[in-house]
Amino acid sequence: MNMLKFDTLRKKPKVYNIAVLTGALAVFLAMLLRMDETRRLQWGNLALTLYFALVIACLLRAFFRQLRYNPYSYNTILYPGFALFALFLFLTHASVTVRCFQNPEEYRSVQMLFTLVHSAKNYILLTMPLLLAFSLALLISNISLIRHEGTRFVNILGMVLAFMLMAGAGLIAVLDVHSALTGQGNLAENLIVNILAAFYLYFECMIIGSIIADLLAASYVPDPDKDWLIVLGCGIRRDGTPTPLLKGRLDLALDFYRRQLKETGRRARFIVSGGQGPDEIRSEAACMRDYLLEQGIPEEDVILEDRSTDTAENMRFSKQKIDEAGGEGKIAFFTTNYHVFRAGLKARRVKMRALGMGAPTKWYFWPNAAVREFVGLLTEHRLKQGLLLFGLAAVYAGLTILAYGQIK
């Protein structure tokens, strides 16, 4: 039984309250400028600690409400990833606050600013062991994938991401050591380090958020109350029969169909979606239809959608089939586990409310496929990605310049 309920909320969650909190924090910190340095440091860090605690609460609340509104959303990735970073900031400032009240003579107010300035860099350095372990797991899975599936560009995406993660984290660590050895007063060097750390912070938060969103989407089991079951195609054998990957999707849909029929008596209809590739002797949809008929599904309960060439068309053309049949009823779609989240996103793009289930795949295939889906998600939200990424970099650049201006 699902502990979380997907797609049960009709109002989109907002995080404007974080902007309100940020404005209130800025006003309070400005008021602290009238206090002496000791009190300014103590109450400033206390305010930041409380602020980040509230930010965590806002992000987590928005995340769970987002799952109930639309689990297949860019925000579903964004909220948990940055909630973890906010947790790091909360723990950092809570520790500094305790020390400031216990030994106020050991701190200057500028150190509060430097704690924020170096937060992205320190987060990257703190999580470096996890990044290295994740990168090593990607490399191992990629090697296994290449051994089984051959060398193709899509099969080495995990290696590329692993190299970028390790190279970036290593470069930040080297620059940080060099900065420590040459003195903290080097504005240009620290500006480069903090901007680079801001970029890597963003992508690390997105990777973490993607893993969480993918796992939740892949493990979710829709309620047995569906009228339409869409099975997404993925390629067939040379003889026109389903590949193991496609068979897994079909068997998952069949299990759901039979369970729903047994538990509720509600009879769903299948839409098998997939066109004919240049190296296929017939359409994926025809292959899937024949498989379902062999399993005892009545022919009138299987609708053919054989024009689609990708996931977006799967969803768009399947929705057209449903609209032609009356356009009513609840929908579930079936694909492979790593693909559920992105397929759900494509369904929402065509205004189709559908919940997905993911069939299992071989262990070595998941990481690289998940990376491919992650890259696809990033490229589909270029404007939003760019605004957040460069906005984050600008914040750290501004904080760095402000902080180093205070020590001149």
236: which DSSP letter?
B
pLDDT tens per residue across span 337-392: 988 998 999 999 999 999 999 999 877 677 767 777 777 777 777 788 888 889 99
**Average pLDDT for residues 320-328, to the nearest whole number?**
88
Q: By the 8 A CB rule, do 314 and 273 touch?
A: yes
**Residues contacting residue 286 through CB under 8 Å, at least 6 positions apart:** 240, 304, 306
- Assess whether pLDDT exceeds 60 at residue 408: no
pLDDT tens per residue across span 183-233: 655 778 888 888 999 998 998 898 889 889 989 999 999 999 999 999 999
Element (H, E) at 338: none
More confident residue, 333 or 138: 333
267: which DSSP letter?
P
Domains and CATH numbers, the chain: 16-220+371-406 (no CATH), 228-329 (3.40.50.620)
- Tell me the average pLDDT of the chain: 87
Percent of the chain with pLDDT over 90: 50
Q: CA torsion, points 385, 390, 115, 20, in degrees to nearest 10?
A: -70
pLDDT tens per residue across span 55-89: 999 999 999 999 999 999 989 999 999 999 999 99
Q: What is the pTM of this model?
A: 0.87
3-state secondary structure of 176: helix
- Pairing type for strands 269-273 and 354-359 reads unpaired
Element (H, E) at 359: strand 354-359
